[in-house]
């Protein structure tokens, strides 16, 4: 199927053509017709499936012709600043011939430019919950004319503690509206909120054409915790890793990894919630333009990273939330493209690894005989070590 078969207006089709979008992804081909027909949507899709265009394109078309009507007519809620900027840019790309005005509001920066954009008139507003609540409390923004409400990455918004803000925002928009609800996962609290705000929704549950875990070449390195830094340097030096996103479990860890890499002569930047908005955007732009080869990120910060040709993802730390593993490696398998994902696993991480492999439905291939392979990863030696432990009474774990 091509986009021309989805009854999309010529102005948007032209913009899609210029972005070299010809064939919609599964979620786009399924969701767009229902949204254009006014249905509420309950969408479940993994990262990299083209979800943003699945709601941006029909929203732009539904609002086409209403440019002279004052007030915010479509509101998109999203958890992070990076995602808000990404969605804002997508609306501008797809809607550049429609006359629809889009603005993004998010925290971490001065609200004055955002106020100015609102005064100039906005049709589509992309917002993070915290900053939106601030502007609502200051009576700077009114949501009484919203026709279409979209919650994107709903699970992550709730993980970040925005549940009360989301409820208040939803109660501030008209009850008679179209609601689009997208979430990569559907835990009970997310399902409960979806059920309370959606009216007879159409369910769109889409997996990539091939499962993310099958599209991406995965590999696992067992390593002692104290050897992880050296293993990382070993892999990065003289390898085919052209652009690498490294995941750290903590903000402090991300800073430490980036610092260690720079000391070793490998240019790297860290991105996480404690960085200023300016610093985060500069790091992202440098990475996207290839000025910096390595970006180190935490899970939340990485939700807004959308790079078409990311060659590798490295899980320096395995995620404690096992579903985050899919989101992480999906950064390098965008829209059906292949990629590579490398994971480090210490002895204490083996429980997390078991959960991840159970989620993926198959084991991750192990790279053996690397320079930093630990004793616990060598089955034959492990048997001998345990025999010696029993003999000498050593309590050390292997």
List, for residues 126-174, the tens digit of each pLDDT value.
Answer: 999 999 999 999 999 999 999 999 999 888 787 677 888 999 999 999 9
What percentage of the chain has pLDDT greater than the value 70?
Answer: 87
Specify the higher pLDDT residue, 172 or 208.
172
Which 8-state DSSP code applies to residue 377?
G
**Tens of pLDDT along 329-359?**
878 866 555 689 999 999 999 999 999 998 8
Give pLDDT, residue 276. Answer: 74
Structural domains of the chain sorted by starting position, each given as residue range(s) with its CATH number in brackets: 3-206 (3.40.50.300), 212-382 (3.40.50.300)
Mean pLDDT of the chain: 86
Residue 320: DSSP 8-state: S
Report whether pLDDT(387) > 50.
no
Residues 149, 180: contact at Cβ < 8 Å?
yes
> In angstroms, rounded to a whole number, what is the distance separating the alpha carbons of residues 269 and 292?
7
Strand partners of residue 150 = 76, 180
CB-CB contact of 299 with 324 (8 Å): yes
Q: 74 - beta bridge partners?
A: 124, 148
pLDDT band for 380, please (50, 70, 90 cuts). Answer: very low
CB of 385 closer than 8 Å to CB of 375: yes
Sorting pLDDT into bands at 50, 70 and 90, what band is 46?
A: low
What pTM does this model have?
0.66
Helices (H), the chain: 10-18, 26-36, 51-63, 81-94, 112-120, 129-137, 154-159, 163-172, 188-197, 212-215, 228-236, 251-263, 277-288, 299-302, 323-329, 350-360, 379-392
């Amino acid at each position: 199927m091509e986009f021309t078969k989805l009854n999309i207006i010529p102005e948007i089709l032209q913009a899609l053509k210029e972005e070299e979008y010809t064939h919609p992804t599964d979620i786009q081909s399924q969701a767009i017709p229902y949204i254009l027909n006014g249905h509420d949507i309950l969408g479940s899709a993994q990262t990299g499936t083209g979800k943003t265009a699945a709601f941006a394109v029909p929203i732009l078309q539904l609002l086409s012709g209403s440019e002279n009507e004052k007030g915010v007519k479509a509101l998109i809620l999203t958890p992070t600043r990076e995602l808000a900027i990404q969605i804002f840019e997508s609306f501008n790309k797809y809607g550049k011939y429609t006359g629809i005005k889009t603005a993004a509001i998010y925290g971490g920066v001065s609200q004055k430019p955002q106020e100015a954009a609102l005064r100039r008139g906005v049709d589509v507003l992309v917002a993070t919950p915290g900053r939106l609540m601030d502007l609502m409390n200051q009576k700077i923004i009114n949501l009484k004319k919203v026709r279409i409400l979209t919650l994107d990455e709903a699970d992550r918004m709730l993980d970040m503690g925005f549940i009360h803000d989301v409820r208040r925002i939803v109660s501030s928009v008209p009850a008679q509206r179209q609601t689009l609800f997208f979430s990569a996962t559907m835990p009970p609290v997310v399902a409960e909120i979806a059920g309370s705000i959606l009216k007879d929704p159409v369910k769109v549950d889409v997996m990539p054409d091939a499962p993310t875990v099958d599209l991406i070449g995965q590999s696992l390195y067992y390593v002692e915790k104290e050897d992880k830094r050296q293993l990382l340097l070993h892999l990065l030096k003289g390898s085919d890793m052209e652009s690498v996103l490294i995941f750290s479990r903590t903000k402090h860890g991300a800073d430490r990894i980036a610092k260690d890499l720079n000391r070793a002569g490998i240019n790297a930047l860290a991105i996480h919630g404690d960085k200023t908005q300016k610093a985060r955007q500069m790091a992202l732009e440098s990475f996207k333009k290839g000025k910096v080869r390595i970006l180190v990120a935490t899970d939340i910060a990485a939700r807004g990273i959308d790079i078409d040709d990311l060659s590798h993802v490295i899980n320096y730390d395995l995620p404690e939330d096992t579903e985050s593993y899919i989101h992480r490696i999906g950064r390098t398998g965008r829209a059906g493209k292949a990629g590579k994902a490398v994971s480090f696993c210490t002895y204490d991480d083996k429980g997390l690894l078991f959960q991840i492999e159970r989620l993926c439905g198959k084991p991750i291939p192990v790279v053996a005989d690397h320079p930093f392979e630990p004793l616990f990863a060598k089955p034959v030696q492990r048997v001998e070590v345990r025999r010696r432990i029993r003999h000498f009474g050593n309590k050390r774990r292997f």
